[in-house]
Structure 1
Amino acid sequence: MLLQNRLICALRAASHAPASTLHLFHLSNAAATATATATATATAAPSAQFVVEDYLVASCGLTPAQACRASKYLRHLKSPANPDAVRAFLADAGIAEADIASAIAADPRLLCSKVDKTLTPRVAQLRDMGLSPIQISRLVAIIAGIFHNPSKITRLEFYISLLGSYARVETALNRYRFLLSQDIENVVKPNMAFLQQCGLSEDDIAGLNLRTGHLLTCNLEHLKTMVARAEKLGVRGVRPSSGMFKKALIAVCSVTAEKLIAKTELLERALGYAEAKIAVSKLPTILSMSEVTLAHRVEFLKTEFSLEPSYIAHRPAILTYSLERRLIPRYFVIHVLKAKGLVKRDIDLFGVFSQSHEKFVQKYLHHQ
């Protein structure tokens, strides 16, 4: 009964309290509630996470598709700290932003590199070899993982010595990305020794390496097989000791044995057996052309220009010229000039086709 009376008194006192007191009471309760809610929300909300794919797109310049592929190798990264350090170092070393992006897309592990233990000494090696920042920049974009594989830098130094300059090596690397993948002592040097036994000089080998990287990077037995094929290509001087042998070797390196046979048979059908042998022996690299192109040009020269198979066979370079850009335009220029009596009717077409553009214009257009 005493407790009941006290509660009644308390309620009456509250009902007669000033409005301001009640307002403050409610504000106090609302603030406390808001603070408690905010604290609970902050505690429950997860902290901002490092999303690799977003970082690769926003900070590294990769496309979403590239970022998706690259992120598979970077799932363990929890923060941008090391990737940022790598990118900053590469930029300070003079490597272009686009080349950094290409390097990361090709080798995402680059972002996990240790700046002090890996990148700094590798860049120093390349600089000691005489490479400029621009050259290093291009190299990083061309060869994935160049910083993670010290042996590739050693091989690069070997090829610079063989080819005579980094510029020539870069040309070879753009054509054959695998050039630095093979062991120098156990693969490249034995191949060089064999080619020298065949009569090729070191300069010859260097020149061939610019045309086909397979010569020095394939296994020795395969190289011997290609040399044997080159020797069988034609009847005129295609021997290891001849200059023509280099062209034959380029031809057999560019196609499979099956394709080589198919193209040889195509020429035999189009020109005749003897004429095909002559054509191949004089210019073995015509076998590097596609079968469709080769067949179309032979047929066009025979039917549209009325050239005899023997004429084509003894001048096989004519098959390497573009129909649309050289052969057809020049043919019709000569045709018109003949009709007007401005050139001899027995003019040699191959002489017309083989001239440079400047000489052709000067001789047949400006002087008419």
Structure 2
Amino acid sequence: MYTTLILNGRRCLVLQKWPNLRFAVSLVQNVSAFSNPFSSASAAADVSPPQDGRKGKTFNVFDLVDSLDLTRKLAESISRKVSSDGKGDPDSVLNLLTSNGFTDSQISSIITVYPRLLMLDAEKSLGPKLQFLQSRGASTSELTEILSKVPTILARKGEKTISIYYDFVKEIVEADKSSKYVKLCHSLPQGSKQENKLRNILALRELGVPQKLLFSLLVSDFRSISGKERFEESLKKVLDMGFDPTTSKFVQALHAVYQMSDKTIEEKVNIYKRLGFDVEDVWGMFKKFPQFLIYSEQKIVNKVETFLGLGFSRDELAMMVKRFPQLLGCSSETLMKKTEFVVEKMNWSLKAVASNPAVFGYNFEKRIVPRCNVIKTLMSKGLMGSELPPMSLVLAITDEAFLTKFVRKYDDKELVAELMTILTKGRVS
């Protein structure tokens, strides 16, 4: 058995031993989302597939997640959590899930959402919870579907709490399948946290908030969906602002508004006014990135100082923040690293960066560095002339568009293979 997750069987893997895990797979450094169609053999061919105790056959390490698109960051995070915890037996957890009817794709989904499930004690913790749900009449298909959608139900303690959340999700799923509104009633103490949470989530469901967001809220500890009058007031404000309930920004705005009183919101707006923003600008940024309004004045000032220290003018900073307020959430280290790379390594101007602030939201190792290295390689070979392409043309287009424009257009197969190697290795040069 193994416990790592990878993208579509295309990525290179190396096996390594962990104290409490029979088989494990970790991502090779510098993996990119691009596949290399010119490699002579799959990297997996060099990895001896572990024996799968679940099904009594040789099991290829790619099979479990052949349809799961995981980012490198997530896969590495899961690996660190499992290997460093030192508790439980991930192998036993995976075997237990399989024996209870969960498919490979369902297990992949569960581990992606709730990687700490692998650290649970299969015999003392996870097993009894599954047995309890089955004892209440849950069929195998129902059990696997519900827990695949909301695996963090298994993190809850107490049979009553698990029952309440499980039944709630089940009713929502069944109601949505039939496309009929079902009045969900639960005998919970009036005014209790759980009663408020279920009522509020139902209100959000009626507004069109998707299942995925609803169920995440259900098992969260956010105060914004556990209140009553405050929740209703916050919900009205967010709706009046024009947020679309079907988007994640709606939920983010609800969290932000719930956390702040009208006085606090006014104080936050005044901070940005002192920095030269109009009130209309502030609310325009809030629509793009609701979290930015909860930042402390010190954090905002620190970001301003970082940008000014990098050489941007106050006018350029204001323009960037209006276009891409998410950059205020980036660490100063990230802002400096990306700016220095595109300016010093690629020779794009600060003005070009200011005109393309979304660059601060792109993945440095998987997008910025590999693409820039392809461009530098083409220029060094005299295939692009001496003029650097616009930053937006290199970094803002989709993966497929980049491949078409800068890689696959060449008839030289050796050159194309070289460019693909640069993309897949994502090396910094």
Please tell me the TM-score bracket, short chain as reference.
0.5 to 0.7
1:304 positional shift: 1.6
Pick which of 346-355 and 211-220 moved more.
211-220
Cα distance in 2, alignment partners of residues 182 and 333 from structure 1: 50
Cα distance in 2, alignment partners of residues 218 and 202 from structure 1: 17
Partner residue in 2 for 1:39:
none
Partner residue in 1 for 2:71:
none
Provide the TM-score with structure 2 as the length reference.
0.52
Cα distance in 1, alignment partners of residues 231 and 379 from structure 2: 56
Report the structure, 1 or 2, having the larger helix content: 1
Match of 1:362 among 392, 404, 412: 404
Partner residue in 1 for 2:307:
267
The amino acid of 2:293's aligned partner reads V
1:179 positional shift: 6.1
Partner residue in 2 for 1:188:
231
If you compute each CA radius of gyration, which structure gives the higher value, 1 or 2?
1
Cα distance in 2, alignment partners of residues 339 and 226 from structure 1: 53
Partner residue in 1 for 2:222:
178
User: CA RMSD for the aligned pairs?
Assistant: 4.5
The count of corresponding residues between Structure 1 and Structure 2 is: 278
Match of 2:344 among 299, 303, 328: 303
1:328 positional shift: 2.1
Give 1:71-110 correspondences, 5 Å limit: 87-89=134-136, 91-92=138-139, 94-96=142-144, 99=147, 103=153, 105-110=155-160
Pick which of 163-172 and 349-358 moved more.
163-172
Partner residue in 2 for 1:282:
323
In the alignment, structure 1 residue 258 sits paired with structure 2 residue 303: no
In the alignment, structure 1 residue 166 sits paired with structure 2 residue 211: yes
CA contact under 8 A between 1:209 and 1:216: conserved in structure 2?
no
Cα distance in 1, alignment partners of residues 380 and 166 from structure 2: 71
Q: 1:235 to 1:284 in 2, by over 3 A?
A: farther
Give 1:240-251 correspondences, 5 Å limit: 243-251=284-292
1:280 positional shift: 1.8
Partner residue in 1 for 2:420:
none
In the alignment, structure 1 residue 338 sits paired with structure 2 residue 395: no
Partner residue in 2 for 1:149:
194
1:219-262 C-alpha deviation (Å, 9 max, x unpaired): 43376247616854975777269644412533234x44332221
Cα distance in 2, alignment partners of residues 148 and 88 from structure 1: 27
In the alignment, structure 1 residue 324 sits paired with structure 2 residue 365: yes
1:81-101 C-alpha deviation (Å, 9 max, x unpaired): xx9766511534933499499
Give 1:32-43 correspondences, 5 Å limit: none
The amino acid of 1:191's aligned partner reads S
Q: 1:290 to 1:121 in 2, by over 3 A?
A: closer
Paired-residue identity, %: 19
CA contact under 8 A between 1:196 and 1:202: conserved in structure 2?
yes
Give 1:63-74 correspondences, 5 Å limit: none
CA contact under 8 A between 2:356 and 2:392: conserved in structure 1?
yes
Report 1 or 2 for greater relative contact order, CA contacts < 8 Å, sequence distance ≥ 6: 2
1:182 positional shift: 2.8
Cα distance in 2, alignment partners of residues 95 and 312 from structure 1: 50
Q: 1:262 to 1:66 in 2, by over 3 A?
A: farther
CA contact under 8 A between 1:226 and 1:249: conserved in structure 2?
no
Cα distance in 2, alignment partners of residues 119 and 192 from structure 1: 23
The amino acid of 1:352's aligned partner reads V
CA contact under 8 A between 1:263 and 1:287: conserved in structure 2?
yes
Which secondary structure state, in structure 1, belongs to the residue aligned with residue 244 of structure 2?
helix
CA contact under 8 A between 1:282 and 1:316: conserved in structure 2?
yes
Cα distance in 1, alignment partners of residues 154 and 372 from structure 2: 51
Q: 1:86 to 1:304 in 2, by over 3 A?
A: closer
Which secondary structure state, in structure 2, belongs to the residue aligned with residue 277 of structure 1?
helix
Which secondary structure state, in structure 1, belongs to the residue aligned with residue 143 of structure 2?
coil
Pick which of 215-224 and 226-235 moved more.
226-235
Cα distance in 2, alignment partners of residues 343 and 256 from structure 1: 46
1:361 positional shift: 0.8
1:152 positional shift: 2.3
Provide the TM-score with structure 1 as the length reference.
0.59
Partner residue in 1 for 2:394:
352
Which secondary structure state, in structure 1, belongs to the residue aligned with residue 384 of structure 2?
coil
CA contact under 8 A between 2:197 and 2:227: conserved in structure 1?
no
1:125 positional shift: 5.7
